[in-house]
Chain A
Amino acid sequence: GQQVMQIPQYQHVQEGEDFTTYCNSSTTLSNIQWYKQRPGGHPVFLIQLVKSGEVKKQKRLTFQFGEAKKNSSLHITATQTTDVGTYFCAGPHTNAGKSTFGDGTTLTVKP
């Protein structure tokens, strides 16, 4: 079945360092979404990428969708303590009605 994998599982950085998480799907995706979950919170939608090779930016966050639409990345420039949390990618499943989530990358930022 469809699988979505994320690496790394955990990332510890010093405040001000950059951070990148990668998402790889076993199948071609029509779109990919990214979510952020703060500690003790629930996942919250960040962005959606649809086009092959698409790049979108949200302040210090840069999201990319691969040319083959099977991988994606989230890059945070100059991390801040407010960036801590778990970042998930999600792709639509082949069966309508559900999405497949990666296992997430948990980011901790040391002040």
Chain B
Amino acid sequence: NAGVTQTPKFQVLKTGQSMTLQCAQDMNHEYMSWYRQDPGMGLRLIHYSVGAGITDQGEVPNGYNVSRSTTEDFPLRLLSAAPSQTSVYFCASTNSGGSPGNTIYFGEGSWLTVV
């Protein structure tokens, strides 16, 4: 069982470059999310999706785009990378929005550095 798969694991970008972080889950989960984690800041929600074709903004959406064309995939696009986007990014999925019995599964993370 692969669970939640994120790629790439590590990436260095130059300021102004764009890139896409890929996320796929094989658990047929409806809900998928992207978080960023900065030192001492916990997990901050960037964007989330409650199903194919439906996305919404989280706490820190600026500079990021998402789409959900299939249940399995939820890519995160950085439009024009900035040093402030240097962070660890986690993709997550769950079978519902935090209802009892439904845990959140996280990918292994993508370490992004913008220089």
Contact = CB atoms under 8 A, between A and B. Distances in A.
Given A30-B100, A97-B48, A88 B105 contact: no
Contacts of A33: 98, 103-104
Interface string A1-40: 0000000010000000000000000000011010100000
Contacts of A93: 97-98
Contacts of B107: 42
A102 B42 contact: yes
B10 to A, nearest CB: 12
B97 A88 contact: no
Interface of A: 9, 30-31, 33, 35, 41-45, 48, 50, 88, 90-93, 95-99, 101-104
Interface of B: 31, 33, 35, 40-43, 45, 48-50, 56, 58, 90, 94, 96-101, 103-109
Given A42-B90, A43-B106, A88-B43, 10 more contacts: A41-B108, A42-B106, A43-B104, A45-B103, A92-B97, A93-B97, A96-B50, A97-B48, A98-B98, A103-B41
